[in-house]
């Protein structure tokens, strides 16, 4: 059963990119959705665009700030009701060679990509545990397993590896209390962000395609369908899984 009729979902970092696609997928399956983003202006635009069959609202949040995360949980609960689905999607890249990476850059990446997942999961998780149910989906990356050359991204890779292990830890702690926690490890998906990288450095595409057995980048809607699957009862025996979706890149 893939239906999310009457459920409430939060997608962090959903003002644009993959998060927006995930929000579209969850709303299509019947969920009310909160577009939670540090970029409130774009989140408002996205929410207005998606609002329709179900309620879609914008919420301002900085996932690295615990007070802001608590305010997000209160605001969504008040506007849409208790939270059934949390997608921890907000993430940043911060590429730089390790020997040149400032501590500030390192902290920024770890803070958004890993601390953010912890803080949102902790506070939404408390509510889910009280109610005895909920689904958390963390967006990791194939970079959690493989180091992608030629991009130097030590902080990113380490943060995403952390997300995968944090997923399993929370899944085990909460498994007998109805809260499922899974992660998705996507390969390169065709987003505006990826297109920008390719505009600056077109040769990168060849390297990526060479390393992807399927010979193409992922489509955001392919990821969207996997999020719906993990958010719904269709995946009811899955917890602690890190589902790879990368066209064979890490195989």
Active site residues: 156
Beta carbon nearer to ligand NAD, 23 or 189: 189
The nearest distance, CB 61 to ligand NAD, in angstroms, is 5
The nearest distance, CB 195 to ligand NAD, in angstroms, is 10
Residue 122 contacts residue 181 (beta carbons within 8 Å): no
The nearest distance, CB 121 to ligand NAD, in angstroms, is 14
Distance, CA of 217 to chain centre:
18
Q: Which of 21, 30, 139 is nearest to 91 (CA)?
A: 139
3-state secondary structure 97-122: CCCCCCHHHHHHHHHHHHHHHHHHHH
- Paired residues of 126 in beta bridges: none
Question: Per the omega criterion (within 30 degrees of 0), is the bond before 165 cis?
Answer: no
Distance, CA of 100 to CA of 119 (rounded, Å): 29
The nearest distance, CB 94 to ligand NAD, in angstroms, is 10
Rounded to 5°, the CA angle 160-163-164 comes to 95
5 contacts: CB under 8 Å, gap ≥ 6:
29, 30, 31
Residue 249 contacts residue 187 (beta carbons within 8 Å): yes
The nearest distance, CB 178 to ligand NAD, in angstroms, is 26
Beta carbon nearer to ligand NAD, 30 or 108: 108
Give the residues lining the site for ligand NAD (CB under 6 A): 12-13, 15-19, 37-39, 61-64, 89-92, 112, 116, 139, 141, 186, 188-189, 191, 193-194
Beta carbon nearer to ligand NAD, 38 or 242: 38
Residue 188 contacts residue 207 (beta carbons within 8 Å): no
Beta carbon nearer to ligand NAD, 37 or 84: 37
Beta carbon nearer to ligand NAD, 64 or 164: 64
């Amino acid at each position: 059963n893939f239906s999310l009729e009457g459920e409430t979902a939060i997608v962090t970092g959903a003002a644009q990119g993959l998060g927006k696609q995930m929000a579209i997928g969850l709303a299509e399956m019947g969920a009310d959705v909160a577009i939670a983003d540090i970029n409130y202006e774009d989140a408002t635009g996205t929410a207005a665009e998606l609002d329709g069959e179900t309620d879609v609202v914008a919420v301002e949040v900085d996932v690295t700030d615990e007070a802001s995360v608590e305010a997000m949980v209160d605001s969504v609960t008040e506007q849409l009701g208790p939270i059934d689905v949390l997608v921890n999607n907000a993430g940043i890249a911060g590429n730089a060679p390790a020997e040149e990476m400032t501590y500030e850059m390192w902290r920024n990446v770890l803070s958004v990509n890993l601390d953010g997942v912890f803080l949102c999961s902790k506070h939404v998780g408390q509510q889910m545990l009280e109610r005895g149910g909920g689904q958390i989906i963390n967006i990791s990356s194939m970079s959690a397993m493989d180091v992608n050359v030629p991009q130097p991204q030590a902080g990113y890779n380490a943060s995403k590896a952390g997300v995968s292990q944090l997923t399993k830890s929370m899944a085990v702690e909460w498994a007998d209390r109805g809260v499922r926690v899974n992660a998705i490890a996507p390969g390169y998906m065709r987003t505006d962000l990826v297109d920008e990288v390719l505009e600056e450095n077109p040769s990168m595409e060849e390297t990526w395609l060479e390393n992807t057995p399927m010979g193409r980048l992922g489509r955001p809607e392919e990821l969207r369908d996997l999020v719906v699957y993990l958010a719904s009862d269709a995946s009811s025996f899955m917890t602690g899984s890190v589902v790879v979706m990368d066209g064979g890149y890490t195989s």
